[in-house]
Amino acid sequence: MKHFQPIHYASKTMTEAQIHYTTTEKEMLAVVYAFKKFRPYLVLSKSVVYTDHSALKYLLSKQDAKPRVLRWVLLLQEFDIIIRDKKGTKNLAADHLSRLENPHKDVFENKDIKENFPLETLGKISSGSTSWFADFANFHAGNFIIKGMSSQQKKKSFKDIKHYFWDDPYLFWICADQIIRRCVHGQ
């Protein structure tokens, strides 16, 4: 008899919308998540999914399902899957895991948002007499653009400007990591 052991563990926190899924959809979400995450290991091998939720088989063959479920079914068709029912009384490991209390519950709740930042965290840049972002500030404050720019320079300028917004009296930059930083002219 082969002795199997885990090579990796995975867990997923459901989004606000996913929390409201039906029990069957949550079960299928778990299967889809696992197959997406471990795709390189599972794509060319036969996989057996043990579930205590027999409705999962029905959901995979249902023709008039929700679009979300149909997308999941299409994704799972890429794999060679066998779904087997395993009664909850025989599936003690899953039964035990589902009843464990979450030790991280309420860790991220009721945290104060820091609204004041020391000057060194504001992305200060030194330059000559005119700040590097003056053109962006002028555009957002009053739709002024520099005269004499080529069409290519205007195109680049408009591409860059969309990452900034004006909240009088400051110009703010929306970074690639979605952090908003205030533009500050260095002395």
Among 137, 157, 161, 140, CA closest to 149: 157
Tell me the per-residue pLDDT of 69-128, one tens digit each, with 9 for 90 and over.
888 888 888 888 888 877 666 666 655 555 666 665 655 555 565 666 554 444 444 445
**Which pLDDT band holds residue 17 (cuts at 50, 70, 90)?**
very high
Mean pLDDT of 19-33: 89
Give CA torsion, residues 3, 6, 12, 18, to 10 deg: -20
d(CA 82, CA 94): 18
Report the percent of the chain where pLDDT is more than 70.
Answer: 64
pLDDT of 16 reads 92
Q: Where are the domains of the chain?
A: 16-99, 119-182
Tell me the per-residue pLDDT of 128-141, one tens digit each, with 9 for 90 and over.
555 556 666 666 66
